[in-house]
């Protein structure tokens, strides 16, 4: 069984412990820039090391490009709490700006913050997510589950329920070979969607919708 995921241009690829960002210049929308009026001083955790943040917009997410005035370890805050925002490295410096990938949570705009692991003052960043307000929805299949699914389809069992990660309360719609089925994500952000496969090639795409906003489709294919 072969499985492929046809990622849209500008997607990120995880390599080892770091994040490699694909070239994005051709796709990026105009940027908005927030400048610090009180740049931090080297070696002082009483001031923010952040001197400037540029927000780049893409259909699936936004990227925060963060300039700093000293070697530091940044983290992105949402509602005052650090959250998972993949970065190109686990430390930043004046010659090595930070680049953080931030996915939306269904809101058009958010006021985020950037601080350090050491607790430097928060540098505020206003983000207009645009098309990226709702993140893409992916299946949660492990390699072992994929192997079991392949054996089942190859033995003639074509109807399956697949779990998709989504925002709690979002409706996940999956189109497989032109037929769309859907389910609502529970409070843990899991939607269990019934899917019908067939022998051979299966084209598939998924989206999630919440508060009238729909994510960019995530497309791929299955070959049984």
pLDDT digits (tens, 9 = 90+) for 184-214: 999 999 999 999 999 999 999 999 999 999 9
> pLDDT per residue over 96-138, tens digit each?
999 999 999 999 999 999 999 989 999 999 999 999 999 999 9
Average pLDDT along the chain? 85
Query: Looking at residue 45, what is its pLDDT?
Result: 76
Q: Give 146-194 pLDDT, tens digit per residue.
A: 999 999 999 999 999 999 999 999 999 999 999 999 999 999 999 999 9
Beta strands in the chain (DSSP E): 2-6, 12-15, 18-21, 32-35, 50-57, 62-68, 74-78, 81-82, 98-102, 109-116, 123-128, 138-139, 159-165, 171-176, 179-184, 190-196, 201-210, 213-214, 218-223
Domains, the chain, in order of start with CATH, read 6-133 (no CATH), 135-223 (2.60.40.10)
- Rounded to an integer, the average pLDDT of 34-56 is 70
Q: Is pTM beyond 0.95 here?
A: no
Neighbouring C-beta atoms of residue 83, cutoff 10 Å? 13
């Amino acid at each position: 069984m072969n499985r492929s995921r046809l990622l849209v241009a500008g997607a990120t690829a995880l390599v080892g412990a770091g994040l490699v960002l694909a070239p994005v210049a051709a796709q990026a929308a105009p940027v908005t820039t927030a400048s610090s009026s009180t740049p931090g001083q080297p070696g002082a955790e009483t001031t923010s090391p952040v001197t400037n943040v540029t927000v780049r917009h893409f259909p699936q997410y936004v990227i925060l490009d963060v300039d700093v005035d000293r070697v530091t370890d940044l983290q992105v805050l949402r509602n005052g709490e650090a959250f998972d925002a993949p970065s190109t490295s686990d430390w930043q410096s004046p010659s090595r700006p930070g680049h953080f990938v931030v996915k939306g949570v269904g809101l058009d705009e958010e006021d985020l913050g950037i601080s350090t692991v050491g607790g430097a003052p928060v540098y505020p960043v206003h983000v207009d997510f645009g098309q990226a307000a709702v993140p893409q929805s992916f299946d949660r299949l492990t390699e072992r589950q994929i192997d079991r699914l392949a054996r089942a389809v190859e033995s003639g069992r074509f109807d399956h329920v697949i779990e998709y990660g989504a925002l709690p309360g979002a409706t996940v719609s999956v189109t497989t070979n032109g037929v769309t089925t859907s389910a609502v994500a529970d409070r843990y952000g899991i939607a269990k969607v019934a899917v019908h496969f067939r022998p051979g090639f299966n084209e598939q795409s998924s989206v999630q919708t919440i508060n009238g906003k729909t994510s960019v489709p995530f497309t791929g294919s299955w070959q049984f």
